[in-house]
Amino acid sequence: MKSKIKKNWITLLILALAGGLVYKIPYLKGSYYDALISSLGVTNTQLGVLVNYFGIASTICYFPGGWIADRFSPKALLSFAFISMGSLGLLYSTFPSYNVVLAIHIAYGAIVCLCYWSVAIKAVRLLSSGEDLGKMFGFWEGGKQVSGLIISYLALAVFAQFSEAKLGMSTIIIIYSVVMISVGVLLLFLLKNVKQVEKTAISIKDIFTIMMDSRAWLIGIMILSAYHFHRGLSIVTPYLTKIFGLSTTSASGISMFCMYVIGFIGAATAGIFVDKLGSTLKVVRYLLVVAVVSLVAYILLPGKASLLYVVIGLWMVAQYANFSIRGIYFSSLGELNISPDKTGIFIGFASFLGFIPDMYVHGLNGTILDKFSGETGFKVIFGYMLVMVIICLVTTTILYRRAKGVKN
């Protein structure tokens, strides 16, 4: 039994290391915002549109991706995902025309959600003994941050060696692509211990039953509103460069620290708190209060150079709450009594709803920054994020009360 548990944690580590690479290329703007705009020769709005189309493709594919996760081998799907995304990245590194880059983002969205997202989450749940579900999800999310940190700092060190931003960006994309292809090949040999996913005969009736389940809608709304907070925090990178005069390299380094170091600490500790308190939703509620406080502070604080370290400190606090929430919200499936054999399609539907913001939020943020000059644009975005976090808090409270009813 102990041997099996040990093997499960080793398998979880492999999944975490691989997962830290998935979103590197489509979300380069999170750490290299200004350099990417310069390399592609696009506006804030056009850059946002690229990621919007990644989100549109993702949203369309989340639900069928859940169906696929319930029917096919995770090893084959994950290996295909990483090899194909790495190959697309090599094409992206040449900085082809805008339309080709747009097509690459669409392809990324389809591959991630058909072959990676739901199957990876289901694999994590299958690896859990039940009692360690919170820690499994927390350390999976945290492990992704660690692998992301290592490869990102190596890439940043390479980027700093180039005086020309375009050449530096191209080199970084090549590094990410080669690593992803290598991981895809390794998974074929290393990912042996994930229990075979049940090939359940999910009927049209089952699909409509899940679509009529209020739990799926509520989890979807919780994810949707929390996702605005997650994606909105990437705007702090240009906030530091444009308003506080920080260099792109320094802002990128701080961004990576917040996302990966703070992200790992948040996801891992949140998983431990869940298992200690016995409720994912209770922990998420506490974290959302922290998110509200951090956003209110961002809105109220003026963009003065003397407040730079305060703003960075708030970023760390906000990212702790952000990655803690992301690391554990799917562990609420057990708390809400979701059947394991329907995990994939349930995740697919909830994700379909929850990640709809990817269809518009990046373009919206870019449009706001183009329309409102200086500090005003950033304050508008922070205000919008605050509204969504409050909605998330209300939704999570409803789910928490539903879960208590299930337990009773």
Residue-wise pLDDT for 33-48, tens only, equals 788 888 898 888 888 8
- 35: nearest Cα among 197, 160, 191, 221: 160
Predicted confidence band of residue 382 (pLDDT cuts 50, 70, 90): very high
Q: Which whole number is the average pLDDT over 178-191? A: 81
User: Domain limits of the chain?
Assistant: 9-189+205-407
- Does residue 367 surpass a pLDDT of 60? yes
Question: Residue 140 — pLDDT band, cuts 50, 70, 90?
Answer: confident
Residue with tokens 């990417």: 36
| Average pLDDT score over residue span 284-290 | 94
- The amino acid occupying position 209 is T
Rounded Cα distance between 251 and 242, Å, is: 10
Q: Which CATH number fits domain 9-189+205-407: 3.40.50.720, 1.10.3720.10, 3.90.550.10, 1.20.1250.20?
A: 1.20.1250.20
Give the pLDDT of residue 86: 92
Question: Is residue 306 exposed (0-12), middle (13-18) or buried (19+ Cβ within 10 Å)?
Answer: exposed
Q: Is the pLDDT of residue 233 over 80?
A: yes
Q: What is the pLDDT of residue 205?
A: 66
- Which amino acid appears at position 317 of this protein? V
User: Which is more confident, 345 or 381?
Assistant: 381
Per-residue burial over 263-291, b if 16 or more Cβ lie within 10 Å, else e, is: bbbbbbbbbebbbeeebbbbbbbebbebb
Q: Which of 50-64, 102-116, 185-199, 297-311 has the lowest mean pLDDT?
A: 185-199
What pLDDT, on a 0 to 100 scale, did the predictor assign at position 201?
A: 45
pLDDT at position 197, please?
Answer: 44
Confidence of residue 198 (pLDDT cuts 50, 70, 90): very low
Per-residue pLDDT band for 228 (boundaries 50, 70, 90) equals: very high
Residue that wins the pLDDT comparison between 247 and 378:
378
pLDDT average, residue stretch 106-112: 92
